[in-house]
Structure 1
Amino acid sequence: MFTGLIQSLGNLTRLDTSHLKIECHAETRDRILQDMEIGDSIAVDGVCLTVETGLPNGFIATASPETLARSTLGELAENAVVNLESSLRVGSKIGGHFVTGHVDGFGTLEAVTDTETSWELRFRVPSPQVARYIVPKGSIAVNGISLTVADCSASGDWFMIAVIPVTYAETNLHYLRLNQSVNLEGDVLGKYAEKFLNLGPSSIMQPEISLEFLTEHGYT
């Protein structure tokens, strides 16, 4: 589990078809490496990977064929800049939102607008399975970054985010180019709410919601 608050940037290179080497940028590497251990989970551009080998300035992890197919890790250029975040610890602050590191699908950068106070980025979402979880003012993880949907279509097939300067500067958003793909993960709380609603009134977990039910449970 992660929060979507990026701790460091790193460079990704492929050792072979499945093994990835991530080298943290020097100025922020301690945020990742200070207490990193073998077996730890680290989000790489929003994808949860397991540390298999520790390096003086990074780590090596294995990405399965499924992970490579469902995320941008399978198509990134050699030495690409990636966002890094260590897993959430008990008692840590949650400044973003709950991010699982299980990418739902891709988005594509359509436009970037530099305003006086922020950068506005617009993304196209080709998959309805991803678009369904995008709602106005809702949370979305883009390459593992916790962001708020500033605007979107009714279907969620496009959305816009407004990024403050510090987020833009300290993540790989400023490396993105038009038509480049990004990893998207919808809010896990919305997925659970959808699941419970789809169980229907006959389910033990989802009683029928009626005026009588609400009155009985203190809603008047």
Structure 2
Amino acid sequence: MSLSGARASYVGPGLDLAPHETAAAVVAIGLEEAFSLALPADASPELRWTASIPSNTRHHLIARGSMVFVYLDALSDDHRRMREIDLAEGRRRLVARGVDAVIQMEVDEICASLGVPPREPPDPRIARAIRILDARPQDFRRVADLASLAGLSPSRFQALFSRATGMPFRRYRLWRRMAVVMRSVQAGASLTDAAFEAGFSGSAHLSATFRDMFGLPPSTVRALTVS
């Protein structure tokens, strides 16, 4: 798994995912086999090689071969640009590199292979506040705290924040808290310690929230390489 700002990617075996919804929009690519996707989760499944899954959309994806998942940067217009990109052509470029090579790629390199242009900065006040939130999501429970850092009223901040990220403050904050969990677990922390560091009430709270967002238990992160 590779993390870069608010972008993230996973390359590896297809996982036994339960129905779930992510805070960020997701691009899914089957490198070796087509995957089954029900979008939304209660729809009839279809076999797909590529898919662009909107944020906060419950879905059920079942994959057997090697997969690429790219979680898009809500602080940019990645999600809009991805709708304009030929994912089939992007998949062909990745397949030509070979699975072993793609596993070693950083998320920004994968995005470049897919044809996602470099990220453009949003309103600098919002960008600064969100970068602070990215670094310490557990410290900002109220939108008013970030709004004051940006020199904006909470209502104005909320409007600009949602426009920049494509999602509400609370949902984005949850996404960034999950990044804290992933890094903590990879560094050797217990699930309980990782939960407290990210601002969860305990490992049970973390496990339920993580599974609802990713379709997997947080213990799965231990088997991944996070960069």
Normalised TM-score (structure 1): 0.29
Based on CA coordinates, which of the two structures has the bigger radius of gyration? Answer: 1
Q: Point out the structure with the larger helix share.
A: 2
Q: Point out the structure with the larger strand share.
A: 1
